[in-house]
Amino acid sequence: MRGLWTLIIAALLVFPALQAETQNRNSAGIQLVTIADSLDHPWSVAFLPDDSYLVTERPGRLLRISENGTKTEITGLPKIYNHGQGGLLDIALGPEFNNKGGWIYFSYAAPANNNPDIANTEVARARYDLATNQLSDLEVIFKAEPKMHGDNHFGSRLLFTPDGYLYVTLGERYDYKEEAQNTENHLGTIVRILPDGTVPADNPFINKGKARPEIYSYGNRNVQGIAQHPESGEIWFHEHGPRGGDEINVLKSGANYGWPEVTYGISYMGMEISDKTSAPGMEDPILQWTPSIAPSGMVFYTGDEFPSWQGDMLIGALAGEHLHRVSIDNGQIEQEILLEDFGKRIRDVAQSPAGELYILTDESDGKLIRLTAKPM
Protein backbone atom coordinates (compact mmCIF):
# COMPACT_ATOMS: atom_id res chain seq x y z
CA MET A 1 0.00 0.00 0.00
CA ARG A 2 2.86 2.42 0.77
CA GLY A 3 4.09 2.10 -2.81
CA LEU A 4 0.61 2.86 -4.13
CA TRP A 5 0.31 6.08 -2.13
CA THR A 6 3.83 7.09 -3.22
CA LEU A 7 2.77 6.81 -6.86
CA ILE A 8 -0.44 8.76 -6.25
CA ILE A 9 1.31 11.56 -4.38
CA ALA A 10 4.10 11.74 -6.94
CA ALA A 11 1.56 12.17 -9.73
CA LEU A 12 -0.18 14.98 -7.87
CA LEU A 13 3.09 16.77 -7.18
CA VAL A 14 4.35 16.57 -10.75
CA PHE A 15 1.12 18.12 -12.01
CA PRO A 16 -0.03 20.17 -8.99
CA ALA A 17 -2.50 22.28 -10.98
CA LEU A 18 -4.27 19.22 -12.38
CA GLN A 19 -7.18 17.59 -10.62
CA ALA A 20 -8.26 14.01 -11.07
CA GLU A 21 -10.92 13.66 -13.72
CA THR A 22 -14.26 14.87 -12.42
CA GLN A 23 -17.57 13.91 -13.94
CA ASN A 24 -20.85 15.69 -13.27
CA ARG A 25 -24.09 13.96 -12.53
CA ASN A 26 -27.32 15.71 -11.64
CA SER A 27 -30.19 14.19 -9.70
CA ALA A 28 -31.06 11.77 -12.51
CA GLY A 29 -31.11 8.28 -11.07
CA ILE A 30 -31.13 9.51 -7.46
CA GLN A 31 -34.33 9.94 -5.48
CA LEU A 32 -34.33 12.23 -2.44
CA VAL A 33 -36.67 11.19 0.36
CA THR A 34 -37.08 13.85 3.06
CA ILE A 35 -37.36 12.27 6.52
CA ALA A 36 -37.51 15.56 8.47
CA ASP A 37 -37.36 19.26 7.67
CA SER A 38 -37.42 22.53 9.64
CA LEU A 39 -34.12 21.61 11.28
CA ASP A 40 -31.96 24.50 12.48
CA HIS A 41 -28.52 23.97 10.91
CA PRO A 42 -28.32 20.22 11.59
CA TRP A 43 -24.75 19.02 11.96
CA SER A 44 -24.68 15.25 12.48
CA VAL A 45 -26.90 12.17 12.42
CA ALA A 46 -26.58 8.84 14.26
CA PHE A 47 -28.79 5.79 13.84
CA LEU A 48 -30.69 4.21 16.72
CA PRO A 49 -31.55 0.47 16.88
CA ASP A 50 -35.29 1.13 16.43
CA ASP A 51 -34.68 2.88 13.07
CA SER A 52 -35.10 6.35 14.53
CA TYR A 53 -32.39 9.00 14.30
CA LEU A 54 -30.38 11.21 16.63
CA VAL A 55 -29.69 14.60 15.02
CA THR A 56 -27.68 17.49 16.42
CA GLU A 57 -28.57 21.10 15.61
CA ARG A 58 -25.70 23.55 15.82
CA PRO A 59 -27.58 26.09 18.00
CA GLY A 60 -27.58 23.48 20.77
CA ARG A 61 -30.51 21.10 20.38
CA LEU A 62 -30.41 17.29 20.28
CA LEU A 63 -33.36 15.60 18.58
CA ARG A 64 -34.66 12.09 18.26
CA ILE A 65 -36.49 11.84 14.94
CA SER A 66 -38.81 9.01 13.96
CA GLU A 67 -39.18 7.64 10.45
CA ASN A 68 -42.33 9.73 9.98
CA GLY A 69 -40.46 12.91 10.90
CA THR A 70 -41.74 13.35 14.47
CA LYS A 71 -39.18 15.21 16.60
CA THR A 72 -38.53 14.75 20.31
CA GLU A 73 -36.03 17.05 22.01
CA ILE A 74 -33.57 15.41 24.39
CA THR A 75 -32.52 17.69 27.22
CA GLY A 76 -29.64 17.57 29.67
CA LEU A 77 -26.80 18.79 27.43
CA PRO A 78 -23.85 20.71 28.89
CA LYS A 79 -23.41 24.44 28.39
CA ILE A 80 -22.74 25.14 24.70
CA TYR A 81 -21.01 28.08 23.00
CA ASN A 82 -23.41 28.92 20.17
CA HIS A 83 -21.62 31.51 18.06
CA GLY A 84 -20.39 31.43 14.46
CA GLN A 85 -19.27 27.91 13.61
CA GLY A 86 -19.51 26.87 17.27
CA GLY A 87 -22.37 24.93 18.77
CA LEU A 88 -23.49 21.32 19.15
CA LEU A 89 -21.55 19.38 16.52
CA ASP A 90 -20.96 15.66 16.00
CA ILE A 91 -22.71 12.71 17.63
CA ALA A 92 -21.92 8.99 17.79
CA LEU A 93 -23.26 5.94 19.60
CA GLY A 94 -20.83 4.19 21.90
CA PRO A 95 -19.58 0.73 20.86
CA GLU A 96 -21.75 -1.03 23.47
CA PHE A 97 -24.99 0.79 22.62
CA ASN A 98 -27.91 -1.68 22.37
CA ASN A 99 -31.68 -1.74 21.85
CA LYS A 100 -32.27 -0.32 25.32
CA GLY A 101 -29.69 2.44 25.18
CA GLY A 102 -26.16 3.14 26.33
CA TRP A 103 -23.48 5.78 26.01
CA ILE A 104 -23.82 8.47 23.38
CA TYR A 105 -20.90 10.76 22.60
CA PHE A 106 -21.09 14.28 21.26
CA SER A 107 -18.69 17.11 20.47
CA TYR A 108 -19.51 20.77 20.93
CA ALA A 109 -17.97 24.20 21.40
CA ALA A 110 -17.77 24.89 25.12
CA PRO A 111 -17.14 28.24 26.84
CA ALA A 112 -14.65 28.65 29.64
CA ASN A 113 -16.18 28.46 33.10
CA ASN A 114 -14.99 31.94 34.05
CA ASN A 115 -15.23 33.64 30.65
CA PRO A 116 -18.13 33.00 28.25
CA ASP A 117 -16.30 34.84 25.44
CA ILE A 118 -13.61 32.21 24.95
CA ALA A 119 -14.25 28.61 23.90
CA ASN A 120 -12.92 25.44 22.35
CA THR A 121 -14.08 21.96 21.39
CA GLU A 122 -15.05 19.46 24.06
CA VAL A 123 -16.35 15.89 23.94
CA ALA A 124 -18.84 14.54 26.44
CA ARG A 125 -20.75 11.33 26.89
CA ALA A 126 -24.00 10.52 28.62
CA ARG A 127 -26.15 7.45 29.09
CA TYR A 128 -29.23 7.60 26.89
CA ASP A 129 -32.33 5.56 27.71
CA LEU A 130 -34.37 4.80 24.58
CA ALA A 131 -37.54 4.18 26.57
CA THR A 132 -37.53 7.47 28.47
CA ASN A 133 -35.48 9.74 26.18
CA GLN A 134 -33.47 10.74 29.23
CA LEU A 135 -29.76 11.53 29.53
CA SER A 136 -27.91 10.61 32.70
CA ASP A 137 -24.35 10.33 34.03
CA LEU A 138 -23.08 13.16 31.83
CA GLU A 139 -19.30 13.46 31.87
CA VAL A 140 -16.84 15.50 29.82
CA ILE A 141 -14.11 13.16 28.55
CA PHE A 142 -11.97 15.58 26.53
CA LYS A 143 -11.31 19.32 26.47
CA ALA A 144 -9.29 20.92 23.68
CA GLU A 145 -6.89 23.39 25.23
CA PRO A 146 -6.53 26.29 25.39
CA LYS A 147 -9.84 28.13 25.23
CA MET A 148 -9.56 30.90 22.62
CA HIS A 149 -11.34 34.00 21.36
CA GLY A 150 -13.09 33.66 17.98
CA ASP A 151 -15.97 31.59 16.66
CA ASN A 152 -14.44 29.60 13.78
CA HIS A 153 -12.78 26.21 13.18
CA PHE A 154 -13.84 23.88 15.99
CA GLY A 155 -13.55 20.69 13.85
CA SER A 156 -15.23 18.36 14.76
CA ARG A 157 -15.92 14.70 13.97
CA LEU A 158 -15.90 11.58 16.13
CA LEU A 159 -14.77 8.16 14.92
CA PHE A 160 -14.87 4.92 16.89
CA THR A 161 -12.69 2.13 15.51
CA PRO A 162 -13.05 -1.62 16.18
CA ASP A 163 -9.78 -1.67 18.14
CA GLY A 164 -11.40 0.45 20.84
CA TYR A 165 -10.15 3.96 20.11
CA LEU A 166 -12.03 7.23 19.71
CA TYR A 167 -10.60 9.77 17.28
CA VAL A 168 -11.62 13.42 17.62
CA THR A 169 -10.89 15.91 14.85
CA LEU A 170 -10.22 19.52 15.77
CA GLY A 171 -9.62 22.90 14.16
CA GLU A 172 -6.82 25.40 14.67
CA ARG A 173 -9.38 28.04 15.69
CA TYR A 174 -8.75 30.15 12.56
CA ASP A 175 -6.88 33.14 14.01
CA TYR A 176 -4.23 30.91 15.53
CA LYS A 177 -3.02 28.99 12.48
CA GLU A 178 0.66 29.00 13.51
CA GLU A 179 -0.29 26.98 16.58
CA ALA A 180 -1.17 24.01 14.35
CA GLN A 181 2.59 23.30 14.34
CA ASN A 182 2.80 23.42 18.13
CA THR A 183 2.17 20.08 19.83
CA GLU A 184 2.01 21.75 23.25
CA ASN A 185 -1.67 22.55 22.60
CA HIS A 186 -4.55 20.83 20.79
CA LEU A 187 -5.06 23.43 18.05
CA GLY A 188 -5.03 21.92 14.57
CA THR A 189 -4.78 18.30 15.66
CA ILE A 190 -6.53 14.96 15.57
CA VAL A 191 -6.54 13.33 18.98
CA ARG A 192 -6.91 9.67 19.95
CA ILE A 193 -8.38 8.67 23.29
CA LEU A 194 -10.20 5.74 24.83
CA PRO A 195 -13.99 5.91 25.30
CA ASP A 196 -13.61 7.03 28.92
CA GLY A 197 -11.22 9.80 27.93
CA THR A 198 -7.98 8.19 29.05
CA VAL A 199 -4.93 8.33 26.80
CA PRO A 200 -3.74 5.16 25.02
CA ALA A 201 -0.26 4.13 26.12
CA ASP A 202 1.03 3.96 22.52
CA ASN A 203 -0.03 7.44 21.43
CA PRO A 204 2.87 9.06 19.53
CA PHE A 205 3.45 12.03 21.84
CA ILE A 206 3.43 10.19 25.16
CA ASN A 207 6.38 11.40 27.26
CA LYS A 208 7.53 13.83 24.54
CA GLY A 209 8.29 16.86 26.66
CA LYS A 210 5.36 19.28 26.89
CA ALA A 211 3.49 17.76 23.95
CA ARG A 212 -0.15 16.95 24.64
CA PRO A 213 -0.40 13.16 25.01
CA GLU A 214 -3.83 12.96 23.32
CA ILE A 215 -2.41 14.19 19.98
CA TYR A 216 -2.27 11.64 17.15
CA SER A 217 -1.55 14.04 14.25
CA TYR A 218 -0.94 17.77 13.91
CA GLY A 219 -0.55 20.46 11.25
CA ASN A 220 -4.25 20.16 10.45
CA ARG A 221 -6.46 23.16 9.65
CA ASN A 222 -10.12 22.28 10.23
CA VAL A 223 -11.02 18.60 9.90
CA GLN A 224 -14.74 17.93 9.39
CA GLY A 225 -14.67 14.45 7.87
CA ILE A 226 -13.09 11.18 8.98
CA ALA A 227 -13.88 7.55 8.11
CA GLN A 228 -12.26 4.13 8.25
CA HIS A 229 -11.83 2.13 5.06
CA PRO A 230 -14.00 -1.01 5.36
CA GLU A 231 -11.33 -3.33 3.92
CA SER A 232 -7.87 -1.90 4.60
CA GLY A 233 -8.73 -0.43 7.99
CA GLU A 234 -6.90 2.78 7.07
CA ILE A 235 -8.36 5.98 8.47
CA TRP A 236 -8.95 8.72 5.93
CA PHE A 237 -9.86 12.33 6.65
CA HIS A 238 -10.41 15.59 4.84
CA GLU A 239 -9.91 19.15 5.93
CA HIS A 240 -10.88 22.62 4.82
CA GLY A 241 -8.31 24.74 3.07
CA PRO A 242 -8.72 28.53 2.90
CA ARG A 243 -9.38 29.71 -0.67
CA GLY A 244 -8.42 26.37 -2.17
CA GLY A 245 -6.27 23.63 -0.76
CA ASP A 246 -8.97 21.39 0.71
CA GLU A 247 -7.21 18.08 1.35
CA ILE A 248 -7.84 14.36 1.61
CA ASN A 249 -5.25 12.46 3.65
CA VAL A 250 -4.57 9.08 5.22
CA LEU A 251 -4.08 9.35 8.99
CA LYS A 252 -0.65 8.32 10.29
CA SER A 253 0.56 8.21 13.87
CA GLY A 254 2.56 11.31 14.78
CA ALA A 255 2.35 12.80 11.28
CA ASN A 256 2.55 16.51 10.48
CA TYR A 257 0.11 17.52 7.72
CA GLY A 258 1.79 20.85 7.13
CA TRP A 259 -0.69 23.62 7.90
CA PRO A 260 0.16 26.49 7.60
CA GLU A 261 3.74 25.83 6.48
CA VAL A 262 2.59 24.12 3.28
CA THR A 263 -0.72 24.62 1.49
CA TYR A 264 -2.29 24.92 -1.92
CA GLY A 265 -4.64 27.61 -0.62
CA ILE A 266 -4.37 31.38 -0.29
CA SER A 267 -5.81 33.70 2.35
CA TYR A 268 -9.33 35.04 2.10
CA MET A 269 -7.78 38.44 1.34
CA GLY A 270 -6.03 36.90 -1.67
CA MET A 271 -2.56 36.90 -0.10
CA GLU A 272 -0.07 34.05 -0.12
CA ILE A 273 0.00 31.94 3.04
CA SER A 274 3.03 29.85 2.10
CA ASP A 275 5.24 29.57 -0.96
CA LYS A 276 5.43 25.80 -0.43
CA THR A 277 3.02 23.01 -1.29
CA SER A 278 5.40 20.32 -0.02
CA ALA A 279 8.21 20.13 2.53
CA PRO A 280 10.38 17.44 4.15
CA GLY A 281 8.80 15.89 7.23
CA MET A 282 5.29 16.98 6.24
CA GLU A 283 2.67 14.75 4.63
CA ASP A 284 1.53 15.53 1.09
CA PRO A 285 -2.21 15.24 0.43
CA ILE A 286 -3.56 12.30 -1.53
CA LEU A 287 -5.91 14.75 -3.24
CA GLN A 288 -6.50 18.49 -2.99
CA TRP A 289 -9.28 20.74 -4.26
CA THR A 290 -8.58 24.18 -5.65
CA PRO A 291 -10.94 26.02 -5.77
CA SER A 292 -12.39 24.83 -2.49
CA ILE A 293 -15.53 22.72 -2.28
CA ALA A 294 -15.61 23.10 1.56
CA PRO A 295 -15.91 19.40 2.46
CA SER A 296 -17.94 18.26 5.46
CA GLY A 297 -19.03 14.79 6.46
CA MET A 298 -17.56 11.65 4.96
CA VAL A 299 -18.36 7.96 4.62
CA PHE A 300 -17.05 4.94 2.76
CA TYR A 301 -20.11 3.57 1.02
CA THR A 302 -20.82 -0.16 1.39
CA GLY A 303 -24.57 -0.28 0.70
CA ASP A 304 -26.44 -2.08 -2.06
CA GLU A 305 -28.66 0.75 -3.33
CA PHE A 306 -25.89 2.19 -5.54
CA PRO A 307 -23.62 -0.76 -6.39
CA SER A 308 -21.22 1.25 -8.54
CA TRP A 309 -20.32 3.41 -5.53
CA GLN A 310 -19.28 0.55 -3.24
CA GLY A 311 -15.92 1.22 -1.60
CA ASP A 312 -15.91 4.88 -2.65
CA MET A 313 -15.73 7.96 -0.44
CA LEU A 314 -18.84 10.13 -0.37
CA ILE A 315 -18.25 13.65 0.92
CA GLY A 316 -20.62 16.55 1.49
CA ALA A 317 -19.73 19.88 -0.10
CA LEU A 318 -20.79 23.07 1.65
CA ALA A 319 -19.56 25.72 -0.76
CA GLY A 320 -19.91 23.29 -3.67
CA GLU A 321 -23.51 22.43 -2.72
CA HIS A 322 -23.28 18.85 -3.97
CA LEU A 323 -22.33 15.32 -2.99
CA HIS A 324 -18.78 14.43 -4.01
CA ARG A 325 -17.71 10.88 -4.86
CA VAL A 326 -14.03 9.91 -4.81
CA SER A 327 -12.79 6.56 -6.07
CA ILE A 328 -9.16 5.42 -5.85
CA ASP A 329 -8.57 2.17 -7.70
CA ASN A 330 -5.15 0.80 -8.66
CA GLY A 331 -3.61 4.23 -8.27
CA GLN A 332 -6.23 5.95 -10.42
CA ILE A 333 -8.27 8.73 -8.83
CA GLU A 334 -11.73 9.42 -10.18
CA GLN A 335 -14.19 12.01 -8.93
CA GLU A 336 -17.86 12.52 -9.62
CA ILE A 337 -20.10 15.42 -8.70
CA LEU A 338 -23.43 13.98 -7.60
CA LEU A 339 -26.57 16.08 -7.09
CA GLU A 340 -25.00 18.85 -9.13
CA ASP A 341 -28.31 20.73 -9.27
CA PHE A 342 -29.09 20.21 -5.57
CA GLY A 343 -28.26 23.77 -4.53
CA LYS A 344 -27.98 23.05 -0.78
CA ARG A 345 -24.99 22.97 1.57
CA ILE A 346 -24.41 19.37 2.65
CA ARG A 347 -23.10 19.21 6.21
CA ASP A 348 -23.11 15.48 6.90
CA VAL A 349 -23.08 12.25 4.91
CA ALA A 350 -23.80 9.03 6.80
CA GLN A 351 -24.66 5.40 6.19
CA SER A 352 -27.04 3.51 8.45
CA PRO A 353 -26.23 0.01 9.75
CA ALA A 354 -28.64 -1.30 7.08
CA GLY A 355 -26.57 0.39 4.37
CA GLU A 356 -28.95 3.27 3.64
CA LEU A 357 -27.39 6.60 2.69
CA TYR A 358 -28.37 9.92 4.30
CA ILE A 359 -27.40 13.58 4.06
CA LEU A 360 -28.06 16.63 6.24
CA THR A 361 -28.43 20.08 4.70
CA ASP A 362 -26.86 23.00 6.52
CA GLU A 363 -29.46 25.76 6.59
CA SER A 364 -32.02 27.32 8.92
CA ASP A 365 -34.62 25.03 7.30
CA GLY A 366 -32.31 22.03 7.18
CA LYS A 367 -33.39 18.56 6.14
CA LEU A 368 -32.57 14.95 6.90
CA ILE A 369 -32.74 13.19 3.54
CA ARG A 370 -32.38 9.55 2.49
CA LEU A 371 -30.96 8.79 -0.96
CA THR A 372 -32.45 5.94 -2.95
CA ALA A 373 -32.13 4.82 -6.55
CA LYS A 374 -34.97 5.88 -8.82
CA PRO A 375 -36.85 2.94 -10.30
CA MET A 376 -35.73 2.19 -13.84
Which residues make Cβ contacts (< 8 Å) with residue 147, sequence separation at least 6? 111, 112, 115, 118, 119, 120
In whole angstroms, what is the distance from residue 60 CA to residue 67 CA?
A: 22
Length of the chain equals 376
For the sheet containing 332-338, what is the strand order? 22-24, 332-338, 322-329, 313-317, 295-300
- End-to-end Cα separation, the chain, in angstroms: 38
- Cβ pair 267, 244 in contact under 8 A: no
| Catalytic-role residue among 41, 83, 153, 186 | 153
Task: Determine the longest span between alpha carbons in the chain, in angstroms.
Answer: 62
In whole angstroms, what is the distance from residue 209 CA to residue 213 CA?
A: 10
- Cβ pair 57, 46 in contact under 8 A: no
Residue 361's nearest CA partner among 330, 316, 309, 308 is 316
What is the dihedral angle through the alpha carbons of 57, 354, 191, 265, rounded to the nearest 10 degrees?
-70
Q: State yes or no: is 41 an active-site residue.
A: no
Which pairs count as long-range contacts for 29-32, CB under 8 Å and 24+ apart, including other chains?
29/373, 29/374, 30/338, 30/339, 30/371, 30/372, 30/373, 30/374, 31/371, 31/372, 31/373, 31/374, 32/339, 32/369, 32/370, 32/371
Q: Which residues belong to the active site?
A: 153
